[in-house]
């Protein structure tokens, strides 16, 4: 009975964290679709991205709480992920500015975005190494591995989209608008999938020993 009570808090926290990433990923996917297929006015897509970013940051913060006093790699992975969401937030807010030069656009939007992407990749790497007990291994029979692997795939898509979002100074155009939008869409869908798997990956008393409740 004590074991059930000890996991109740982490289970709720895990569901809140997963739900935040489902909302954030869904809104990012919607924002990417609007940017690619919607009206020429980018305002709706920009606002959708910003709200999605709020949920991503919330999910990142809850991940830190969920990691609590867990093993150092898991804790560091959560912190790096949260930092990445904050860099994304800077980029998403800066996207509302009008009349930016290519240099300003790259400085205020692209650089924070690409740093956020690198943070996501680093976080995913740490999560996979943690699941593998210090090594990068494939464990298809472990649900936690699937959570980390699917999220890492999403991070790779975000990184590709981030690279393509660089504004060429000579033309004042992004490197590849289609890759920006579809890469973001694919990455967001992966994070939604990873969050759903995370919700199914119920913490146990052993796994949550020392976590914040």
Q: Can you give the chain as a three-state secondary structure string?
A: CHHHHHHHHHHHHHHHHHHHHHHHHHHHHHHHHHHHHCCCCCHHHHHHHHHHHHHHHHHHHHHHHHHCCCCHHHHHHHHHHHHHHHHHHHHHHHCCCCCCCHHHHHHHHHHHHHHHHHHHHHHHHHHHHHHCCCCCCCCCCCHHHHHHHHHHHHHHHHHHHHHHCCEECCCCEECCHHHHHHHHHHHHHHHHHHHHHHHHCCCCCCCCCCCCC
Q: Report whether 160 contacts 178 (CB < 8 A).
A: no
> pTM (2 decimals)?
0.86
The pLDDT value given to residue 210 = 35
Task: Output the CA angle 130-138-55, nearest 5 degrees.
Answer: 55
Which pLDDT tens digits describe the chain residue by residue (213 residues)? 334 334 567 888 899 999 999 999 999 999 999 999 877 778 899 999 999 999 999 999 999 998 876 668 888 999 999 999 999 999 999 999 888 888 999 999 999 999 999 999 999 999 999 988 778 888 888 899 999 999 999 999 999 999 999 999 888 889 999 999 999 999 999 999 999 999 998 765 444 433 332
- The alpha carbon of residue 179 and the mean position of all alpha carbons in its chain are separated, in whole angstroms, by 18
């Amino acid at each position: 009975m004590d074991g059930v009570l000890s996991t109740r808090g982490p289970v709720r926290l895990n569901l809140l964290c997963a739900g935040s990433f489902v909302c954030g990923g869904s809104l990012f996917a919607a924002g990417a679709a609007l940017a690619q297929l919607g009206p020429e006015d980018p305002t709706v897509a920009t606002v959708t991205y910003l709200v999605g970013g709020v949920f991503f940051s919330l999910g990142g913060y809850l991940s830190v709480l969920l990691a609590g006093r867990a093993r150092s790699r898991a804790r560091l992975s959560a912190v790096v992920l949260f930092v990445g969401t904050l860099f994304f937030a800077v980029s998403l807010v800066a996207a509302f500015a009008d009349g930016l030069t290519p240099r300003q656009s790259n400085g205020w939007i692209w650089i924070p975005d690409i740093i956020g992407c690198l943070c996501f990749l680093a976080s995913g790497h740490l999560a996979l190494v943690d699941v593998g007990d210090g090594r990068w291994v494939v464990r298809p029979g472990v649900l936690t591995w699937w959570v980390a692997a699917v999220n890492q795939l999403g991070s790779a898509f975000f990184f590709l989209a981030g690279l393509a979002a660089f504004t060429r100074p000579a033309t004042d155009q992004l490197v590849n608008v289609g890759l920006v939008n579809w890469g973001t869409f694919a990455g967001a869908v992966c994070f939604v999938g990873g969050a759903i798997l995370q919700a199914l990956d119920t913490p146990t008393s052993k796994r949550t020993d020392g976590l914040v409740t």
